[in-house]
């Protein structure tokens, strides 16, 4: 996953993105085969790209933001970061939402990834 996406390895998100990429690609190819389409057709592969790109870009941007936030050294930024983390830690619903998002268990999930 980290090799397929230029993402900081913070929180191990590359592997999650990679697993979801594979599940979506398998689903797209299966549907294309059922319709008699050529699996290597640009039109077929574009469906995969359109489906994964928004989630991948959002996760990559979030990880870049976290990286910058955790590298920030000025005291006000450290205070804000730590206060925000404590605030989220005290809100079980918000924490669960962030965990589901980080695990790739929300949004347009492929059949192989549904629990």
- Report residue 3's pLDDT band, with 50, 70 and 90 as the boundaries: low
What confidence tens digit (pLDDT) does each residue in 34-76 have?
Answer: 999 999 999 999 999 999 998 888 888 888 888 888 888 899 8
Total count of domains within the chain? 1
- Over residues 12-22, the mean pLDDT reads 84
Q: What is the mean pLDDT of the chain?
A: 86
Q: Determine, yes or no, domain membership for 1.
A: no
Output the DSSP codes for 78-111: HHHHHHHHHHHHT-HHHHHHHHHHHHT-SSS--G
Task: Give the range of the structural domain holding residue 77, as residue numbers without chain letter.
Answer: 10-113
Q: Determine, yes or no, domain membership for 4.
A: no
What dihedral do alpha carbons 88, 89, 94, 100 form, nearest 10°? 120
- Report residue 10's pLDDT band, with 50, 70 and 90 as the boundaries: low
Q: Determine, yes or no, domain membership for 2.
A: no
| Least confident range of 6-10, 35-39, 97-101 | 6-10
Q: Determine, yes or no, domain membership for 3.
A: no
Q: Determine, yes or no, domain membership for 5.
A: no
């Amino acid at each position: 996953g980290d090799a397929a996406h230029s993402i900081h390895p913070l929180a191990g998100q590359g592997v999650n993105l990679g697993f979801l990429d594979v599940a979506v690609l398998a689903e797209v190819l299966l549907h294309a085969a059922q319709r008699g389409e050529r699996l290597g057709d640009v039109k077929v592969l574009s469906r995969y790209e359109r489906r994964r790109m928004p989630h991948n870009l959002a996760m990559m941007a979030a990880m870049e933001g976290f990286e910058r936030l955790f590298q920030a050294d000025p005291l006000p930024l450290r205070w804000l970061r730590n206060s925000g983390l404590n605030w989220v830690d005290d809100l079980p619903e918000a924490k669960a939402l962030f965990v589901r998002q980080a695990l790739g268990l929300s949004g347009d999930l492929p059949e192989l990834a549904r629990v």
